[in-house]
């Protein structure tokens, strides 16, 4: 199984919106409503932002939203803030396994 494709980096100014794409196949992202998104800062464990494509755990700001169309999932960060800088990973169920995305570094200009 191949890693899901994400852009290497995205950037935006404070207050702007950025969207991170996560491209898979009809065997993972396109087949299951089990896509999740994680934020990771250096030296720490990933933090769950979105699960089941669109669901936000309690405590995650509503600035973070998820969606999916076909074989591509997306994470949108609205009203970008300095603390949103970090690495972001998508993850999809793939039948009897899970596959992660290649990761995207978000930079706040």
Partner 1 sequence: QVQLQESGPGLVKPSETLSLTCIVSGGSISSRSHFWAWIRQPPGKGLEWIGSINYSGRTYYNPSLRGRVTLSVDTSKNQLSLRVMSVTATDSAVYFCSREDEGSSRRDWGQGTLVTVSS
Q: How far is the CB of 76 from partner 1 (least distance, A)?
A: 18
DSSP β-ladder status, 47-50 and 104-108: unpaired
Q: How far apart are CA 36 and CA 67, in angstroms?
A: 10
Distance of CA 37 to the CA centre of its chain: 4
* Site track for partner 1 across 36-75, x = CB under 8 A: x-x-----xxxxx--xx----x------------------
Q: In the chain, helix, strand, coil percent, each to 5? A: 5, 50, 50
Q: How far apart are CA 12 and CA 94, in angstroms?
A: 32
Taking CB under 8 A as the criterion, the residue among 80, 86, 103, 108 binding partner 1 is: 103
Q: How far apart are CA 40 and CA 28, in angstroms?
A: 23
Q: Which is nearer to partner 1, 58 or 69 (CB)?
A: 58
Q: Which is nearer to partner 1, 16 or 67 (CB)?
A: 67
| Binding status of residue 14 toward partner 1 by CB under 8 A | no
Q: Which residues bind partner 1 (CB under 8 A)?
A: 1, 3, 34-36, 38, 44-48, 51-52, 57, 89, 91-93, 96-103
């Amino acid at each position: 199984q191949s890693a899901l494709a994400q852009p290497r980096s995205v950037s935006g100014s404070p207050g702007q919106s950025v969207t991170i794409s996560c491209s898979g196949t009809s065997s993972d992202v396109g087949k299951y409503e089990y896509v999740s998104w994680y934020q990771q800062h250096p030296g720490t464990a990933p933090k769950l932002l979105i699960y089941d494509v669109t669901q936000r755990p309690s405590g995650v700001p509503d600035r973070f939203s998820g969606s999916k169309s076909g074989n591509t999932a997306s994470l949108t960060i609205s009203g970008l803030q300095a603390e949103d800088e970090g690495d972001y990973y998508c993850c999809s169920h793939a039948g009897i396994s899970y596959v992660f995305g290649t990761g995207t570094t978000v930079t706040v200009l």
